[in-house]
């Protein structure tokens, strides 16, 4: 069998500027990968690199020819372990680039089996969890308005970005706009450990689900300090990048937040999920701001999760791809009527 591959870069405007405690994003640079077999099946994947982890669209484009040479040299999309091992040996520090290839291969392998990816893996769609919808930092009034809009669109789980000098004011306004919603917050490393404990103690009064990455990823003991004193469960995001990080955060947080673009692919994500469970952690799967060419693959992991934050494509002004339907935030795997990840051009 021979495999042919190609890729292209997409610059995708966001519906609204997306601000977290350390940066603002107005467009998302994605690199879409397509891998075709001799029978006309085409697998689609995408990279959504983050410069916070040392990757850009330019670095993805630079290493993809080497990664796709690996794919073509193996020549069998069902040899997923072999290909991903060789890709990591070839390019170790570009996980989003490897992830794009991993997604495209899984899409292709499942299409060749004529099965949706979750069925190819043997997962139960009834065990899926809903995705949250993220509200980025803005004026308090705008964040309240965005919250009202999200609730009107049917989203019942909201993730609120914090890390400002008015965090309590923001959460108070959000809770007033969405009194019945499940609300979680994400500080993106913005607080010191003692500041985090004080802020969480106050924010807990607003009936929050958990707090994500309250302190720097470079301060694991600070993370433990917060968790030991927190009124709310603590999730690790920036502190949880690869499989090796799972034992490092065990006992320091309650929830491991994985992202495909951080760990390098679907098989590594599954290993991280099982490792997190073995270490007594709950599991969340997050995302960057991504097209459905990537988000759709992540959605097939939903039956293995406790929490999902897979709203990346929902934050785009327009996504050229459609994928797994998420009506009112529910990840509808059972409703998928085509094989593979479900990603296809509109």
3-state secondary structure 192-209: CHHHHHHHHHHHHHHCEE
Which of 55, 259, 262, 268 does the annotation list as catalytic? 259
Which of 88, 138, 186, 268 does the annotation list as catalytic? 186
Q: Round to whole Å and give the CA distance between 161 and 24.
A: 12
Annotation says 252 is catalytic: no
Spell out the residues 6+ positions from residue 17 whose beta carbon is closer than 8 angstroms to its own: 24, 25, 26, 136, 138
Which of 29, 88, 212, 311 does the annotation list as catalytic? 212
Q: Round to whole Å and give the CA distance between 198 and 195.
A: 5
| Number of separate helices (H) and strands (E) present in the chain | 12, 13
Annotation says 346 is catalytic: no
**Do the Cβ atoms of 71 and 105 come closer than 8 Å?**
yes
Annotation says 237 is catalytic: yes
Which of 237, 245, 311, 319 does the annotation list as catalytic? 237
The DSSP code sequence of 139-190 is -HHHHHHHHHHHHHTT--EEEEE--STTHHHHHHHHHHH-TTSEEEEE-TT-
Annotation says 259 is catalytic: yes
Look-up of token digits 């995001």? 237
Annotation says 224 is catalytic: no
Q: Round to whole Å and give the CA distance between 288 and 240.
A: 14
Strands (E), the chain: 4-20, 23-36, 42-47, 133-135, 157-161, 182-186, 208-212, 234-236, 255-259, 282-286, 307-308, 321-322, 344-345
Closest CA to 129 of 317, 320, 293, 330: 330
Closest CA to 10 of 294, 261, 259, 266: 294
Active site residues: 161, 186, 212, 237, 259
């Amino acid at each position: 069998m021979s495999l042919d591959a190609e890729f292209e870069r997409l610059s995708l405007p966001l519906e609204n500027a997306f601000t977290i405690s350390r940066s603002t994003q107005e467009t998302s640079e994605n690199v879409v990968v397509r891998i075709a077999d001799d029978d006309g099946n085409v697998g689609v994947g995408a990279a959504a690199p983050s410069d916070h982890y040392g990757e850009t669209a330019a670095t993805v484009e630079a290493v993809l020819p080497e990664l796709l040479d690996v794919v073509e040299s193996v020549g069998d999309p069902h040899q997923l372990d072999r290909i991903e091992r060789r890709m990591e040996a070839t390019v170790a520090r570009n996980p989003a680039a490897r992830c794009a290839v991993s997604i495209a291969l899984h899409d292709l392998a499942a299409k060749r089996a004529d099965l949706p990816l979750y069925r190819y893996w043997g997962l139960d769609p009834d065990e899926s969890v809903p995705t949250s919808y993220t509200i980025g930092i803005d004026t308090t009034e705008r964040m309240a308005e965005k919250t009202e809009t999200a609730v009107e669109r049917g989203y019942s789980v909201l993730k609120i970005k914090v890390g400002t000098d008015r965090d309590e004011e923001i959460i108070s306004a959000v809770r007033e706009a969405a009194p019945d919603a499940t609300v979680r917050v994400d500080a993106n490393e913005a607080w010191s450990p003692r500041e985090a404990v004080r802020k969480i103690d106050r924010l807990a009064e607003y009936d929050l689900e958990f707090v994500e990455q309250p302190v720097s990823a470079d301060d694991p003991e600070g993370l433990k300090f917060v968790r030991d004193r927190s009124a709310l469960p603590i999730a690790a995001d920036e502190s949880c990048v690869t499989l090796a990080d799972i034992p490092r955060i065990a006992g320091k947080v309650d929830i491991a937040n994985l992202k495909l673009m951080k760990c390098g692919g679907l098989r590594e994500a599954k290993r991280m999920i099982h490792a997190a469970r073995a270490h007594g952690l709950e599991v969340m799967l997050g995302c960057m701001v991504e097209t459905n060419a990537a988000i759709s693959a992540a959605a097939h992991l939903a039956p293995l999760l406790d929490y999902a934050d897979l709203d990346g494509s929902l934050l785009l002004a327009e996504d050229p791809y459609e994928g797994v339907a998420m009506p009112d935030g529910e990840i509808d795997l059972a409703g998928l009527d085509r094989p593979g990840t479900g990603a296809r051009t509109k």
